[in-house]
Structure 1
Amino acid sequence: ISRLMTTRRMLIDPLLAQLIEKIEPMDTSGYDNANIGFSSAPSSSSNSINHHLSSMPNLDEMSGPSSSSTAPPPVHRLFSLLPPSSLPLPPPSNSSSNLICRVCGDVAFGKHYGVNACNGCKGFFRRSVWSRRHYNCRFDGDCPVIKEHRNVCRSCRLKKCFDVGMNADSVQNEREKGREVKKRKIKEEKSTQTSYQMNSFSSVSPPYRSIDDSVLTPPDSQGGLIFCSKLFTPDSNECTSTPEMLIKLEDETYGYAHLSPDDGNRPEREPNLSFDVAFKRPELVESRYLMNFSNRRIASPTQVCQGFRRHFVMCADWLFSLDEFNLLDECDQYIIGKRAYHMHGWLSHSFIVSQSEEEGLIFSNGAIVPYDKERGECSSGDSHVDSLFGQSLPRMMQFLVKPMREMEMDRIEYILLMMVMIFAESSGLTPSGRHICDTTRDRHLSLLYSYIKKEKESMSDDATLRLTKFLLMISTVTSLCHLLSDSVLSSMTFNTINFDNVCVDALKP
């Protein structure tokens, strides 16, 4: 129809008018006037013919048989009356403009992921698969996906991409290209018994003795009790993160002092960012002010939210400072980041409290949620805060802080256990991501065992038992994450504490 409209405006109308003037004196008895579209009575003047021509059906309104009583002129009859040189040339048969996008109907420029698709639908499908995005249709799941409105419902658009045959595996294979060099950097672990020399540990700074010397942050969801199937001797080229390097990176991450916690002139933050956006640009969530765990005041709901935001920034900065984390592709980084956010927080805050004489959960802005040891409950005086940490704080003090103090857990043991926990779960990752996580976890588990055996023999008769007690803390952290998730979602439901979207988004699977 669009081609006919263009042809009529540019060629047929002017030529037809000239043709009518030429054929008027001719004998037209051999033609079927009704089929040509003129009135049955022959006109005696060009004005009468032009009048009938103007009454012809508009091709702009033609999408099928006309409802008018007068049938439109057959196009082939009109073209038969024109000189051959005046006929428009058809486009070449191999022109890419003949391809139509199977998803939205727009012009396609070739096959993408197995089907003819336009650049817009190709990019939409690639981004959705890379980021493992899940969309929800606001209607009945049957929205029309056409060129003009293809961005209205992303859920139905992605569904149609799969329905017409787009292949998600092609997207993943595309991402794997160019990453072979990075994969080779992580070699298969060796099967020999570890004999790693721990001389480097002696140069590490002593463990924290006061709460002002340390800093830590929060993590997220699933982790499990992971045991290394076999210990190996770390290769110097593979060991990109030694204990002293990890501690140095942590100190640098905590050491930001752009603003003080009480500075009112902070950059404008965005409370409604999604996790994916905030993880790449954490400065939009909160400024990187100096973290200070000094127990200066009882935490209010506002200060709790501020502590969550500052911890998110710290956790993101720390993860991106790790060589192993930067070997992962973007999708795997998002998955690990969401799991790490609250898990890192529980373990790090527990270690900070264990190195002090405080009883309670201390945030980086100096606010504390006090813990009544005798009664075994929160005692902040704020019902909303006490309700938020009512179940999780006693468990943290009993099963994390208390064992850390009893075993005199030092900073090297803490940082190595943190690495084991962050990279413990590899489900949902790409094959290369699973290999990186498994290798990183096993390497740091071996380092932790080796350090305990060499440096803690006087404190423990059995290095394996001490290591096992540390690993049991991971399951405690996992349960704390689930408890916190329920409490945060409950607070959001009843509007008692308004958490930022990024904190809530990190709790979602």
Structure 2
Amino acid sequence: MVSGSSDQSFFLHQIQQKHLMDEYLRQTYGQSRSDQMDTSETSLPTFLADESKIKLESQTEEETSTICSVCNDEASGRHYGAFTCFGCKGFFRRTVRANKVYTCRYEKQCQIDKVGRNICRSCRFRKCLEVGMEPDAIRPDRDKTGRQKNPRKSTTSISSCKSSHDIEEDRKSPVSSSSSHTGSVDDNLQSHCETMAPSSAALSQRDLILGTLLQIEKICAEITDDPKLQSSPQGINELHDIVLRPSLLGERSPLNYDATSVVFGADDLCGGIRRLVIMAIDYVNTLKPIADVCVEEKVILVRSFVSSFIVLTTVQKNVVEGKAEKILLPNGCYIDSSTYLSSLFASCQRDLSWLDLKFTSIKDNIVEKLNVTFDRLRLVDQEIVCLKALMALDPNVAGLSENTSNVLNIARESVQNALYLYLAERYPLNEAVARFGKILMLLPNIAKTGALLSMTLQLGRDLRPDAKLLDLFSV
């Protein structure tokens, strides 16, 4: 371990590089990166405070009556047994009256809120039922009773033209339903309401989130160590030390993706992986709310996240540098189809063919699948940083406290909403929804390759005695 004076010099060396990040985090969360949370009670980011209160605090009926029970938008009153907005009221009424049947494309796990309520009609209708909306409360003759200043055109003839097997699957954009019922004034109104631009507050929150994530990415890529302050990794007995001071694991050398030479030996491969691990730890130490959790939970999150981080960062650089046929490492080396572990660890006296098979699977997943998919989607920086944050902010990791899981879940949903709003502003609604789904579907593919990487490293841990580095990879 380094001396106290060396510790002070180290942090003084980093303060200029982190100052700008602190300013972003103050604006976004109401406190700086250096403000530490009380480990007994996790504080919630201020830009998520309203949403967290809805989800985590008990409310009186008077308070909940102002919020739509389905999508958390502003409620207009009690409709069909639950407090809802006009949009969800109209959606529920039309669905019941037309006997529509929807099918979810995403395993019935879609997030229904003010931003994403139009993504899946199946999950939206199911949530209507879950919050207590009663189909029997809808009067079938409602449009034909009472005095109406502007009576609506009867839809009986339209309904009679429908075939008996008219089952609508949720395979089209949500706005397409309005065009299939042109005779209904309500459907036209619903189409207008659901395609309105988000509020300025939502857009402001989106910009803050994206701006913060982009700045975190920049800091983690540019932060380096002063060689004079570099300490020896010998004598480290706890992962806690490494997570709090990642430079103890190795030097934060400048990132170099020039790919000037193929990986020649074990030192090249292990050095590249080590640098990526350090960058992953820097990332979780800078990203709130993870930066504020206790060190024990931070270690848990690092171990669950580091392999996926390595895969995503590597694929990102492969595509950006225009070398999708290779796997680039941050030390200027690259891996190609001719690279095998048995050749890198030639001094080993045992058969490594079984490890070569694992290593080949990792290479194939990255080069033939992920590189190709990322290159086809042409992901921009805003989409990449959201994808990376969604991986890190995993509330379902085993070993986390309930409070931490709740905070991570709220933060993750906010990043998800920011990503959707970003796409909705740049693409037609149909394309935005489709692209949003494609980006989210990258997460399991990245996690699968990351798990294979962790397994391969653990199986070959006796090839390179580096216990603390390998202990950061969970299996």
> TM-score, normalization: structure 1?
0.51
- Secondary structure at the counterpart of residue 327 of structure 2: strand
Deviations along 1:50-96, whole A, 9 cap, x unmatched? xxxxxxxxxxxxxxxxxxxxxxxxxxxxxxxxxxxxxxxxxxxxxxx
Give the aligned length: 293
Query: Which of 436, 455, 464 does residue 486 from structure 1 map onto?
Result: 455
CA distance in 1, matches of 2:232, 2:467: 16
Residue 323 of structure 1, CA deviation: 2.5
- Secondary structure at the counterpart of residue 296 of structure 1: strand
Retained in 1: the 8 A contact 2:420–2:436?
yes
Retained in 2: the 8 A contact 1:228–1:445?
no
Which runs of 5 or more structure 2 residues have no equivalent in the other structure?
A: 1-36, 55-70, 75-106, 116-198, 346-354
- Secondary structure at the counterpart of residue 295 of structure 1: strand
Retained in 2: the 8 A contact 1:370–1:379?
no
Query: Which of 247, 266, 279 does residue 214 from structure 2 map onto?
Result: 247
Retained in 2: the 8 A contact 1:311–1:364?
yes
Residue 356 of structure 1, CA deviation: 2.0
Retained in 2: the 8 A contact 1:249–1:321?
yes
What is the aligned partner in structure 2 of residue 312 from structure 1? 277
Which runs of 5 or more structure 1 residues have no equivalent in the other structure?
A: 1-174, 195-223, 373-377
| Residue 228 of structure 1 pairs with residue 111 of structure 2 | yes
Deviations along 1:246-287, whole A, 9 cap, x unmatched? 22222122113446xxx9996433386543221112111111
| Residue 290 of structure 1 pairs with residue 248 of structure 2 | no
Residue 456 to residue 352, structure 1, CA distance change in 2 (3 Å): farther
Deviations along 1:176-224, whole A, 9 cap, x unmatched? 7763655777435274579xxxxxxxxxxxxxxxxxxxxxxxxxxxxx9
Retained in 1: the 8 A contact 2:244–2:295?
no
| Residue 449 of structure 1 pairs with residue 414 of structure 2 | no
Residue 404 of structure 1, CA deviation: 0.9
CA distance in 2, matches of 1:308, 1:505: 13
CA distance in 2, matches of 1:281, 1:396: 30
What is the aligned partner in structure 1 of residue 469 from structure 2? 503
CA distance in 2, matches of 1:501, 1:192: 48
What is the aligned partner in structure 1 of residue 383 from structure 2? 413
CA distance in 2, matches of 1:277, 1:265: 16
Deviations along 1:463-487, whole A, 9 cap, x unmatched? 2221222122111122112211221
Q: Which has the higher helix share?
A: 2
CA distance in 1, matches of 2:38, 2:257: 43
What is the aligned partner in structure 1 of residue 410 from structure 2? 439
- Secondary structure at the counterpart of residue 293 of structure 2: coil
**Which amino acid is the alignment partner of residue 248 of structure 1?**
Q
> Equivalences for 1:35-54 in 2 at 5 Å?
none
Retained in 2: the 8 A contact 1:308–1:503?
no
- Secondary structure at the counterpart of residue 383 of structure 2: helix
CA distance in 1, matches of 2:373, 2:427: 15
Deviations along 1:412-448, whole A, 9 cap, x unmatched? 1010111112113434311210111101111111111
CA distance in 1, matches of 2:424, 2:44: 33
Retained in 2: the 8 A contact 1:452–1:467?
yes
Query: Which of 340, 344, 365 does residue 395 from structure 1 map onto?
Result: 365
**Which amino acid is the alignment partner of residue 340 of structure 1?**
F
CA distance in 1, matches of 2:40, 2:458: 41
Retained in 1: the 8 A contact 2:362–2:452?
yes
| Residue 179 of structure 1 pairs with residue 144 of structure 2 | no
> TM-score, normalization: structure 2?
0.54
Identical pairs, percent: 14
- Aligned-residue RMSD, C-alpha: 3.5
Retained in 1: the 8 A contact 2:48–2:414?
no
**Which amino acid is the alignment partner of residue 254 of structure 1?**
A
| Residue 476 of structure 1 pairs with residue 445 of structure 2 | yes
What is the aligned partner in structure 2 of residue 367 from structure 1? 333
What is the aligned partner in structure 2 of residue 465 from structure 1? 434
What is the aligned partner in structure 2 of residue 49 from structure 1? none
What is the aligned partner in structure 1 of residue 15 from structure 2? none
Retained in 2: the 8 A contact 1:271–1:501?
no
> Equivalences for 1:418-429 in 2 at 5 Å?
418-427=388-397, 428-429=399-400
CA distance in 2, matches of 1:471, 1:320: 24
- Secondary structure at the counterpart of residue 408 of structure 2: helix
**Which amino acid is the alignment partner of residue 424 of structure 1?**
D
What is the aligned partner in structure 2 of residue 68 from structure 1? none
- Secondary structure at the counterpart of residue 334 of structure 2: strand
CA distance in 1, matches of 2:212, 2:385: 10
Retained in 2: the 8 A contact 1:183–1:432?
no
CA distance in 1, matches of 2:278, 2:252: 7
What is the aligned partner in structure 1 of residue 315 from structure 2? 350
